[in-house]
Amino acid sequence: MDSDSLNISFLVAIISPLMKKDTLYEKSLLVIVASPDLGPSEVALVREMASVEADIVAWQHLSIVQERFPSPDVAAYLRALNIPALSLTEALGEKLSVEVDEAVIAWMKAFGRTPLDALGKSFRSLFKYRHLSLWWWAEIFLYHDTPLRLLVRDVEALSRLLDRRRPDRVFLVSPVRGLAAAARHLAPGEGPRGSPRRRVPRRAPAPPGNRGH
């Protein structure tokens, strides 16, 4: 059994008692699946949690948000496995989704005024060309051409999702970006988490004369 299978087996042993319907310690469970790159044991674990009516959320932002940094279609992957799941937009609802977009824009604008040095100077005052602040160009670049917007959106979306769902436990499967760190700060009842998938590099074939028998 590989290390990933051992980890998932251990997590099943921890989580299974929480999911029994006849226990006095029944917990509401929020499961966030952030990548379709799951091993068989992880798929089995998500199926088990779905079978006891855990809330399964496919963590991906709208395609227009991730135009420059597209992510795999997690929702389609779970549908193909016949695992019931909500998209992030469905889980949040239209009103909260709009709030998330507005919060990200507000954060970006506030970042330009945030003190960055010991003297309290912000990006807008530190970086200038003559009398013109370079922030106006930096803001557009950071928002559209870097994953910073996704990092901020992850935090804002997770915060609102937890407020809306109010789960007793949160379980992340293959978390992306800083999602696991955000969950540790935002979810006091956070339980065991899945680990980001680690791709094992393929070994180059050995020269014909050096191959073992």
**pLDDT given for residue 82 in this prediction:** 93
User: At residue 60, what is the residue type?
Assistant: Q
User: Distances in Å between the alpha carbon of 82 and those of 38, 75, 91?
Assistant: 15, 11, 18
Stretch among 21-35, 73-87, 102-116 having the lowest mean pLDDT: 21-35
**pLDDT given for residue 189 in this prediction:** 58
Is the pLDDT at 195 greater than 80, yes or no? no
Alpha carbon of residue 142 to chain centroid: 20
Domain ranges of the chain: 3-198
- pTM, whole model, 2 decimals? 0.74
Q: Pick the residue with more confidence: 106 or 169?
A: 106
DSSP, residue by residue, 17-71? HHH-TTSTT---EEEEE--S---HHHHHHHHHHHHTT-EEEE----TTTTSSS--
- Cα–Cα dist 115/134, whole Å: 16
Instruction: Give the mean pLDDT of the chain.
Output: 79
Q: Pick the residue with more confidence: 100 or 8?
A: 100
Is the pLDDT at 39 greater than 90, yes or no? no
pLDDT tens per residue across span 48-87 = 989 888 999 999 998 888 888 888 899 999 999 999 999 9
Q: What percent of the chain has pLDDT over 70?
A: 75
What is the chain's length? 213
Mean pLDDT of 135-146: 90
Is the pLDDT at 109 greater than 60, yes or no? yes
- Cα–Cα dist 82/212, whole Å: 43
The highest-level CATH class for domain 3-198 is alpha beta
